[in-house]
Structure 1
Amino acid sequence: MTTTVPEIGKPRRVRRGGVMSSTGLYIATGIAALLFLIPFYLLVRNAFSTDAEITGENWQFFPTDLQWGNISELFNDTTVPFARSLWNSAVVGVLHTVGTLLVCSLAGYGLARIPYKHANKIFYAVLVTLMVPSAVTFVPSFVLVSSLGWVDSYRGLIIPGLFSGFTCFLFRQYFLGFPKELEEAARVDGLGYWGAYWRIVVPNSLNFFAAIATITFINGWNSFLWPLVIGQDPSAWTVQIALSSYMTNQTVNYHLIFLATAISILPLVFVFLFLQRWLVQGIAQTGIKG
């Protein structure tokens, strides 16, 4: 075997393409980060300003006097129960997430693991529901909820949206790739389908469950149309309904809109930061690419 010895005294050529490409990547990333941070800066800046400073011609990077009184004005407003709406959104978001995970994971596990001759037909029926526009089922759902007396209640806000065909599809596809050897070992120990699901599958699928939980909670927190129809009384408003009430045909409370929006996105930011690692790993396990 022969080896090549570099010539002594001959200058080595340094490739500058890698350094230049890395520098360009950092610059592009920094510019993109600044562009994404502009809306958050506007939220914070306008939240502690007066309406005159927000709509005035002379723009200031930050107001000279921060209007800390906007916070007390927001929570002491009797026409819009903002604190109550935050609580309602938290309750709806958490219960909706837990219920969706339980219902859809059980449905997906049954379709993936329990053998029966109509499993494929039921799975195809679930896929068909993805093709039905939500506007088609909106009125029948409202009539059903109204006949049950669930208007202005948590039951009406949560229960109709517990099942999601797409979430069920994701769980089925994930469970099809779950190692069967673990479940077979559980059955040898005397566990049935429920025992294998609860004691083996769930503890070994926390990353995937965290990813679905994050997406479901964000969707539940940001939902607007269904809570608008069901939550007719101000005591049943969610945070999105409360935000819309600051903009009417007569007046627009700019500082309250920005402040309420800034406060309303804080739970989403905390959830995303807390579950970010599990979210990335869970999405990778779904098989979704691109």
Structure 2
Amino acid sequence: MTTTAPQLRKPRGKKRGGVLGNTGLYLATGVAAFLFLVPFYLLVRNALSTDAEITGEHWKFFPTHLQWGNVGDLFDDTSVDFARSMWNSLVVAVSMTVGILLICSLAGYALARIPYKHSDKIFYVVLGTLMVPTAVTFVPSFVLVSSLGWVDTYRGLIIPGLFSGFTCFLFRQYFLGFPKELEEAARVDGLGYWGAYWKVVVPNSLNFFAAIATITFISGWNAFLWPLVIGQDPGAWTVQVALSSYMTNQTVVFHQIFMATAISILPLVFVFLFLQRWLVQGIAQTGIKG
């Protein structure tokens, strides 16, 4: 005669605790999402309002009449060529993204994979550049760019920012963890370091490249101080410099500031939404833990 062992039931307290835990997680996520979306709501609301509604005493959740004409006022303003500034920022951000991906990835791959007795010393020099404050190199960089005649040009806006010691460091850390077996198989097929990089490493590292591209594009688009100094002519202004022109000591055009800001962040929103799933995966593959 056989007997079956009684089945143990899970305590109800744990199940109830799991539900409460999920509820707390959803509540915290909802609060964080609300706090994150409030600035966007204020931006859109004020962009479609008049100056009187923005600065008025009585707050309205949304204006009674949406001022879509603010878009036309923004681009018809002859004092600031906002469309030109958007184009300048796009050229600068895209060029810097492509340049940094190419130069820093090659440098990081060389430091991680090509055997050279002084590679560690070069790497320490690259790390040393991260300890130099930007304010120290700002004036010498401007003097150099000015002596080359690159003021008010794309070259002056782009070339000085085509290398990043931190991005080079991230690429090196990533390539140190890249499977060597794939590169060894490429060398068996007759490929050198250059061929292995282009045909094996890059196609299998698109997640990481996309993450670095997202960060670099956002940084290049939001740059302000260097474009302000180099782009002295209004035709060379980037979007961040153009935004600052709507607020002076004499006048503040509120609806144009908010509308210009709302339009200027659209490329960043599109880039982030398109590459967001690669952004987290790429950062997780840098090799930096803890």
SS in 2 for 1:286: coil
Aligned-residue identity in percent: 83
What does 1:183-202 align with in structure 2 at a 5 Å threshold? 183-202=183-202
Matched, 1:47 2:47: yes
Question: Which residue pairs with 2:93 in the alignment?
Answer: 93
In 2: Cα distance, 1:116 partner to 1:277 partner: 36
Question: Which residue pairs with 1:123 in the alignment?
Answer: 123
SS in 2 for 1:186: helix
Instruction: Tell me the alpha carbon deviations over residues 58-108 of structure 1, each in whole angstroms, 9 at most, x when there is no partner.
Output: 100111111111000000111111000000101100010000000000001
Question: Which residue pairs with 1:72 in the alignment?
Answer: 72
Question: Which residue pairs with 1:4 in the alignment?
Answer: 5
AA at the equivalent of 1:198: W
Instruction: Tell me the alpha carbon deviations over residues 112-163 of structure 1, each in whole angstroms, 9 at most, x when there is no partner.
Output: 1111111111100000000000000001100111111111111110000000
1:288 Cα deviation from its structure 2 partner: 3.5
AA at the equivalent of 1:269: V
Contact 2:47–2:256 (Cα < 8 Å) also in 1: yes
SS in 2 for 1:204: coil
Question: Which residue pairs with 1:218 in the alignment?
Answer: 218
Query: Runs of 4 or more off by more than 6 Å in structure 1?
Result: none
Are the structure 2 counterparts of residues 59 and 179 from structure 1 closer, same or farther at C-alpha, using a change threshold of 3 Å? same
In 1: Cα distance, 2:90 partner to 2:285 partner: 28
Matched, 1:163 2:152: no
Question: Which residue pairs with 2:261 in the alignment?
Answer: 261
AA at the equivalent of 2:265: I
Question: Which residue pairs with 1:150 in the alignment?
Answer: 150
Matched, 1:177 2:181: no
1:3 Cα deviation from its structure 2 partner: 5.0
Question: Which residue pairs with 1:56 in the alignment?
Answer: 56
1:243 Cα deviation from its structure 2 partner: 0.4
Instruction: Tell me the alpha carbon deviations over residues 164-203 of structure 1, each in whole angstroms, 9 at most, x when there is no partner.
Output: 0000001011111111111111112111111111111100
In 1: Cα distance, 2:48 partner to 2:198 partner: 48
SS in 1 for 2:204: helix
User: Which ranges of structure 1 fall in alignment gaps of 5 or more residues?
Assistant: none
AA at the equivalent of 2:248: T
User: What is the TM-score of this pair, normalised by structure 1?
Assistant: 0.96
Question: Which residue pairs with 1:23 in the alignment?
Answer: 23
AA at the equivalent of 1:88: N
Question: Which residue pairs with 1:237 in the alignment?
Answer: 237
In 2: Cα distance, 1:6 partner to 1:166 partner: 57
Paired residue total:
288
Instruction: Tell me the alpha carbon deviations over residues 241-262 of structure 1, each in whole angstroms, 9 at most, x when there is no partner.
Output: 0000000000001111111111
AA at the equivalent of 1:130: L
Contact 2:177–2:287 (Cα < 8 Å) also in 1: no
1:287 Cα deviation from its structure 2 partner: 2.8
SS in 2 for 1:260: helix
AA at the equivalent of 2:104: C
Are the structure 2 counterparts of residues 232 and 4 from structure 1 closer, same or farther at C-alpha, using a change threshold of 3 Å? same
1:6 Cα deviation from its structure 2 partner: 4.7
Are the structure 2 counterparts of residues 68 and 191 from structure 1 closer, same or farther at C-alpha, using a change threshold of 3 Å? same
AA at the equivalent of 1:245: S
